[in-house]
Amino acid sequence: WSSDVCSSDLVDLGVDSKVYGRCVSPTYTVSQLAAAVGSSPDTLRYYEKAGLMPAPRRTPSGYRQYDDGARERLAFIRGAQRLGLTLADVRDLLAVRDTGECPCEPAEQHLTRRLAEVDAELARLEALRDQMRSMLAGIASGACPAPDPETTWCPCRNEVSGMAGGSGRAHG
């Protein structure tokens, strides 16, 4: 459902109809809305409980009914989470967005912080890759000493033994 649906476009209303051909926004069940944005119904219900999504209208039988506004809001939440923003960050952005203001300024702050976190994680992963390459080079050269019962990994290098929870002693 990407646009409004006019009831007069769907059926011949007839002269005695109580429906007057007005346009209505499509509605979604919790499952339909979740599927529309690649989420799960449980996640959507959680967002509602956490205050990120407003309580939806309910049918007379108690089923949730969401409109396109809820779909756009959920897509915004999911997009912010894909960038690694926390639910608290998303809540901050939604609070600004709900006032009608552009959330660009707080988004810049949150994204700058998140980018620094990603950069730190990349540096950690590069160091880990270097350690793994060093370990592989030692194994490939055949310079690996006999196993040490006090370590849990090949004691080829001092930092490798320490990394694996071993004694940290150098061997060989």
Residue 1, pLDDT > 70, answer no
The per-residue pLDDT for range 73-87, each reduced to its tens digit, is 999 999 999 999 999
The residue among 23, 2, 1 whose CA lies nearest residue 10 is: 23
Cα-based angle 71, 69, 36 (whole degrees, multiple of 5): 15
Determine the pLDDT at residue 35.
Answer: 94
CB neighbourhood size of 80 (10 A): 24
The per-residue pLDDT for range 85-103, each reduced to its tens digit, is 999 999 999 999 999 999 9
Confidence band for 132, pLDDT divided at 50, 70 and 90: confident
The CA distance from 44 to 56, in Å, is: 11
Q: How is 17-82 classified by DSSP, letter by letter?
A: -S----EE---B-HHHHHHHTT--HHHHHHHHHTTSSPPPEE-TTS-EEB-HHHHHHHHHHHHHHH
- pTM for this predicted structure: 0.65
